[in-house]
Chains A and B, each alone.
Chain A
Amino acid sequence: MPGVLHLLPYFVAAWLFFCGLYGLVTSKHLVHSVMCLAILQSSTYILLLGIGYRIGGAAPIFADIAPGKLTVDPIVQALMLTDVVVEAVVIALLLAMVVKAHERSGTVSPDELRTLRG
């Protein structure tokens, strides 16, 4: 089914998004929740890179190819690559919150940490 193959990366991105949300909703451990956010992040990357791909296109590095040759889209790559490094540190921030929560209340389960009801 060539039609579906043409859209497969986008379906994968949608599926990853769904999985990430599912993990967040059913999580029993805060570190697991943070990793589900990383899955959501991957979903957006797959979507972006899938959008920018061109079959038969070279990498947009003109060190060894002549300028003007058909390349894949450099814009989405530029958007993404800073994001990867930055999100790693933002996840570190979230994990620091988890560490602190564990230290103060001795647990990392969201069910047991409910001190802010209503």
Chain B
Amino acid sequence: MRDTTRKRVFLFFGSVFFLLFCYATVNLPPWGSYRGPYGDVISRVGVYERHATDVVNAINYDYRAFDTLGEEFILFSAVLGVMMLLRHEEGEDTREVGKVEDRMHLSMTVRALAMPAILLTVVFGFDIGLHGQLTPGGGFQGGVILASALFLLYVCENTESFRRITSHSLVESIEAVGAGSYALIGLSPLIAGLPFLTNILPLGTTGDVFSSGTIALISACVGLEVTAAFLLVGYTYLEEIITGQVPEE
């Protein structure tokens, strides 16, 4: 199909769809007047029932923990997919896809600031990740911040240091352990005759870090998994693109 035809046909049908969308939303409750009972009920009881002040995370890791389990495994399978796509086949010649000068001549200022910045980021990541049940944060966010600390390492130092850490075979295992332990934590209540993913750990006092039972624990496992996942993706991409060769598995 020629480009202009495609564009014109799309503009017609796309506009029809857009107008129908707008027409339908006229019946929505006006913006800013959320009415539904579900969110309000959980806001009201979430703190008392689960001793977690961050109701959003209470929903994610307790009320609707099954959804989050599924989402976590979406991340997991996407990472498996990236690794499988960009893998190095047995017996394949290594490809030289344009080597990048690995010795970057960074200024003294950048290199001096690099280490403190990385340390700060790591501490920040752990803080956000472990306080998920109290303040906005939790496993997903903490994991991304921790992974970005290591990317800072790649930006500020040369790729060798980054590769040394992320190519370790444990990174993959850590990721799998993080993902699998979520499912296993969910399975443990079954022994006591309770449904899957019930919060069975002691709930502690509201406002304490060690509160809200399995919410904190699951959040930590997810954080582990997300960190490792982003590191694996970063490592696989870097190996494929920058250095031009992927080592044998």
- Listed in ascending order, the chain A residues whose CB lies under 8 Å from chain B are 5-11, 14-15, 17-18, 21-22, 25-26, 50-55, 57, 59-63, 67-68, 71-79, 81-86, 89-90, 92-93, 96-97, 99-100, 103
Contact = CB atoms under 8 A, between A and B. Distances in A.
5 contacts: A61-B55, A78-B64, A85-B140, A89-B229, A89-B230
B54 A75 contact: no
Contacts of B33: 54-55
Contact of B240 (A75, A77, A99): A99
B42 A61 contact: no
Interface of B: 3, 6-7, 10-11, 14-15, 17-18, 21-22, 25-26, 28, 30-34, 36, 38-40, 42-44, 46-48, 53-57, 59-60, 64, 67-68, 71-72, 74-75, 78-79, 81-82, 85-86, 95, 97, 134-136, 140-141, 143-144, 207, 226, 229-230, 233, 236-237, 240-241
Contacts of B11: 22
Given A22-B10, A62-B55, A103-B95, A10 B75 contact: no
A103 B246 CA distance: 14
B131 to A, nearest CB: 9
Given A6-B30, A53-B31, A14 B22 contact: yes
